[in-house]
Structure 1
Amino acid sequence: MKTALIVWGGWEGHEPKACADFFAAHLTNRGLAVQVQDSLNIFDDAARTAAFSLIVPIWTMGSITEQQEKNLVAAVMAGTGLAGFHGGMGDAFRGHIAFQWMVGGQFVAHPENIKDYTVNIVNRTDPITAGIPDFKVHSEQYYMLVDPRNEVLATTTMTPSPTAPWIAGVVMPCVWKKQHGAGRVFFSSLGHQRREFETVPEQLEITLRGMVWAAR
C-alpha cells in the first residue's frame, strides 16, 4: 500500500490542521495509508522520510533546519513524491533554496488578497486535469516565481490591480507537475482555506489527482 505523510503547521490563517484532516480523509479514501504530524521532526530521520510514497507539506511561512531540508530533498530525489497547495507548499520555507527548487516556484505576492478569478486548464489530456473544464474561484491569486521546467497544467490571468497595475494580463502558472530527481512533484497555488476545497469540486479533484499522481 502507498503511504502518505502530511505535516502541518506554520501560519494559522491557512487553517493547516483543518486542511490536514480534510486531505488525510480524502487520501485515505483513495487508497493511501496516511500519517499526520504537527512537527517537522520526522525529517530529522533520513530513512523514515525516504520510506513514504508521498509527502504533503501544509506549513506556510515555517522554519526548517538545514538537515531536515537536506533529508526531505534527498527523499524526493530518491523517488518519494511531493505534493501540496497554496502557501502550505509554495510559501513553506522562505530562504530555503533547495526546497524552492524542488517545488518549482515560490510565492511573492497576492495583490488585493481575496478576489474572483478564473483558472484556465491548458493541458486537457493529462490525467490530473482530463475532463475538468475551466472554473472560477474566490481566493488569493498568487503571483509566483516559477521554474521554466515545470509542466504547466493550468494558468490564471492576473486581474487588474490598483496596488500593482503592471501585472494586469500576466498569464501565471497556477497548477503544475515536474520531476525532481527520481521523485514526482505536484503543486497548485489554489486553496487559501479548507472551505475552498469543499465548495469548488474542480479544485479539490485536481489537487487529489495531483497528490495520487505524485505518490511513488
Structure 2
Amino acid sequence: MAHRALVVRGGWDGHRPIEASDLFLPFLERSGYDVRIESSPAVYADAETMAETDLIVQCITMGEITHEEVSGLRDAVAAGTGFTGWHGGIADSFRASADYLQLVGGQFAAHPGRAPEPSGEPRDDANFLDHVIELTDLGRTHPVTQGLDDFAITTEQYWVLHDDLIDVLATTTHPVRPWHPWRRPLTSPAVWTRDWGAGRIVVTTPGHDPEVLDDPNVRTVIERGMLWATRTASAS
C-alpha cells in the first residue's frame, strides 16, 4: 500500500514555496507516495485527512495558523504522521503560535549578513555567507545523514533558538565579525530530528531557494528526511 504524503505550501513568496516544493514531488512519486497538495494549513484541522497522512512536507514561511489547525497538526504527529521541511518553510512558520514552536523545537532568529556596504545601499545577497554545515557524531551514524561529510555552502546561515529535545545531526557556527555585536562564536543546529509521540520530525535549515535545494548534500538530507520521518509500522 502506498504511503500518503501531504505537501502544504504557501506563505512568504520570497522562498518560492511552489517552485521549491515542486522539486521534491518527483522524488516522492518515485518513492511510491500518493501526493496531495494544499495551499494553506486549513487541512490540518481535517482529522480524517490527517489520520490518513503518513508524511507532511511543509513549506510555509511566516503565515498564520488557527488553534484548531495547530492542534490537528500536533495530534497527527503525536499519532505517527511524519513532519518535515526546510529553511523558513518549517523553522520560520507561524511565529505567533507557541504550540507550533514547541512542536518543531527550533525557531529562526536571524541570518547574520556580510559587512555593510560603505555606501549604505542594500544588496540582494547581503545575507548570503560562505559557511560550513558540520555533522555531529550522531549525524555521522543517523540514517538521514550517514555517509555524508561536512560541506561548504553559500546561502543564508540560520541562527536558531532551540530546546534540548532535538537530536542535532549537523550544526553551523556563526563567527565573530567586527560589525556584529556578539563577542564569541555561536553554534546553531542546522539539521535536527525530534520525536513527538509516535511521530518523527526532521528540520533542515539550508534551503533558501531552489538553487540551494539543488545542492546535492542539501537535497540528500531533505529526501532522506522525508523517508525517515514517514509513519513507521510501529506508529500505524
**Residue of structure 1 equivalent to 2:162:** 146
TM-score (norm 1): 0.95
Does the residue aligned with 1:212 lie in a helix, a strand or coil? helix
Instruction: Give, in whole Å, the separation in 2 of the partners of 1:81 and 1:152.
Output: 17
Q: Is the 8 A contact 2:77 2:200 kept in 1?
A: yes
Residues paired across the two proteins, number: 215
Q: Is the 8 A contact 2:20 2:213 kept in 1?
A: no
**1:206 and 2:221 are equivalent in the alignment:** yes
**Residue of structure 2 equivalent to 1:6:** 7
Structure 1 residue 164: Cα displacement: 3.0
Q: Percent identity?
A: 40
Deviations 1:75-127, CA, capped at 9 Å, x for gaps? 11111010111000000100211111111101111111211100001121111
**1:15 and 2:8 are equivalent in the alignment:** no
Q: Is the 8 A contact 1:24 1:36 kept in 2?
A: no
Q: Which amino acid aligns with 1:21?
A: D
Mark the CA change 1:167 to 1:4 in structure 2 (over 3 Å): closer, same or farther. farther
Does the residue aligned with 2:32 lie in a helix, a strand or coil? coil
- Alpha-carbon RMSD across the aligned residues, in angstroms, is 1.3
**Residue of structure 2 equivalent to 1:180:** 196
Does the residue aligned with 1:166 lie in a helix, a strand or coil? coil
Mark the CA change 1:161 to 1:30 in structure 2 (over 3 Å): closer, same or farther. farther
Mark the CA change 1:87 to 1:60 in structure 2 (over 3 Å): closer, same or farther. same
**Residue of structure 2 equivalent to 1:62:** 63
Where structure 2 has 5 or more consecutive residues not aligned to the other structure, the ranges are: 114-126, 232-236
Does the residue aligned with 1:192 lie in a helix, a strand or coil? coil
Q: Is the 8 A contact 1:117 1:159 kept in 2?
A: no
Query: Greater helix percent: which structure?
Result: 1
Q: Is the 8 A contact 1:111 1:163 kept in 2?
A: no
Instruction: Give, in whole Å, the separation in 1 of the partners of 2:184 and 2:226.
Output: 31
Q: Which amino acid aligns with 2:101?
A: Q
**1:157 and 2:158 are equivalent in the alignment:** no
Mark the CA change 1:184 to 1:164 in structure 2 (over 3 Å): closer, same or farther. same
Which sits farther off after the overlay, 126-135 or 30-39?
A: 30-39
Instruction: Give, in whole Å, the separation in 1 of the partners of 2:156 and 2:162.
Output: 17
Aligned equivalent of 1:117, options 111, 128, 131: 131
Q: Is the 8 A contact 2:45 2:71 kept in 1?
A: no
Q: Is the 8 A contact 1:175 1:188 kept in 2?
A: yes
**Residue of structure 1 equivalent to 2:46:** 45
Larger C-alpha radius of gyration, 1 or 2?
A: 2
Q: Which amino acid aligns with 2:35?
A: V
TM-score (norm 2): 0.87
